[in-house]
Amino acid sequence: MMNNSRLLLRRFQRTTSKNTKRIVLEPTRVFSRVMTRVISRDFSTQTKQDILVLNAGSSSLKFNLFSVDMGSNSVSSVLNGAANGLTVTGDVDPVIKIKQGDKTLISDVISSPTHSAALSFIADTIRSHSSENISAVGHRIVHGGTVFPESCIVDDSALEELSQLNSLAPLHNPHNLAGIVAAAETFPGALQVGVFDTGYHATIPEHAHTYALPRQLANKYRKYGFHGTSHKYVVEQAAQFLGKERINAISFHLGNGCSVACIKNNKSIDTTMGYTPLAGLPMGSRSGDIDPSIIIKLLQDEGYSSEEVSDILHSQSGLYGISGSSDSLTVERGYKNGDPGYKLAFNVFAYNVKKFLGAYTAILNNKVDCIIFTGGIGENSPLLHNLVCEGLHPVTHDNYSRDNQVSDISAAGSSTRVLVVKTNEELAIARECVKLMR
């Protein structure tokens, strides 16, 4: 139970410095008082519940409203959309688009480039088109550290602990918490639920998450892994498709951010991202793994500042660094047209993806039920499927469709199935909310 005297929810305000954006916290009593009442509610008295899922980014707020039948566990999307241009600089108009199924209901500019203004607009739309009562709001939170291995109800103590983790994901977590603050103010009767990208990887064994650093540093800096909500969802979908309760799988979440997860009996035992989402595969604009000595050389010999090196690794590398474009469709189109820069970028990307396919196959002792491709690139690039699986797992795209929830692209007789699975992180978060409401 929460201590109501503590001032633990903070109103988020943004300020800027030359190179960074930071969030300033001011105390308010709202959260503790409201959450005490909410957590004491009995959600089992109503069969139908409405759950709002929020994904707050640095300059965006995505949402999906779900209607849940608590009796049958059916979950269906009612409204979805996103607000973009929520920037402190104000150099772009904050635009919001809201859809009901495939029908666009609203495409408009909102009054202020803040998460609170965007959520207020979303709340008004929800009330006018769908629901007056939101039972729970599920939040994607990128980094839960070792403190949050599972989804949780965000009470005042959880919020305080989450604020201490901002330094682990400074580009993500503060904005995720901003979404919690805005939601608590906008929907004071709703349960606030945190679902963590790192949570699914809490099962990675010590020998796999430990870096070979001096022990005092290795205890502080370790592999966490990310994209866990997506990896867990597609593994469950693949297991259901294969008619198995538990599977061994290698899951490729390939989008602007990319990671691979090694799955044994439905649990993550290794992944390519590490202490931060920078590690592992080359990505849209992130470098992925490089020799750490390069960073030392850039700092000591090339005259770069630590902020400039961080910007190079996060924003000027990956597909963008090699080819000049971070857009995978542009790079793939250039590859097919024979452009040398695009072809090199796509080959570097596919090579590294295939390298982890081989590594994780070895970790699983060659006992792999399926390979899963998901994410914007993973779901939509037959060229990548062919390059990665060539010589290992024959594939065919005869039955492949971008509209399928699951497409089996394995060639006949393949002992390991190759599946393309559409991810749905918002649905996965809604299901986590349902678990905590029971």
The residues annotated as belonging to the active site are: 197
Residues in the chain: 438
How far from 416 is each of 193, 372, 413, CA to CA, in Å?
37, 11, 9
Other residues' Cβ atoms within 10 Å of the Cβ of residue 207:
7
Please name the residues in contact with 135: beta carbons below 8 A apart, sequence gap of 6 or more. 43, 46, 49, 50, 51, 190, 191, 437
Q: How far from chain centre, in Å, is Cα 355?
A: 23
Secondary structure of residue 314 in the 3-state scheme: helix
Query: In b/e form, how buried is each residue of 278-312, taking b as 16+ CB within 10 angstroms?
Result: bbbbbbbbbbbeeeeeebeebeeeeebeeeebbeb
DSSP label of 222: B
CA dist 275 and 279 (Å) reads 8
Look at the alpha carbons of 164, 431, 115, 285 in this order and tell me if their dihedral is positive or negative: positive
Q: Which residue has the tokens 């750490």?
A: 292
Q: Which helix (H) or strand (E) holds 233?
A: helix 228-242
Q: How far from chain centre, in Å, is Cα 304?
A: 30
DSSP label of 411: P
Backbone angles phi, psi at 205, to 5 degrees: -70, 160
CA angle 336, 339, 341 (to 5 degrees): 120
Backbone angles phi, psi at 371, to 5 degrees: -110, 135
CA dist 79 and 162 (Å) reads 29
CA dist 386 and 395 (Å) reads 7
DSSP label of 310: H
CA dist 76 and 103 (Å) reads 16
CA angle 406, 412, 418 (to 5 degrees): 35
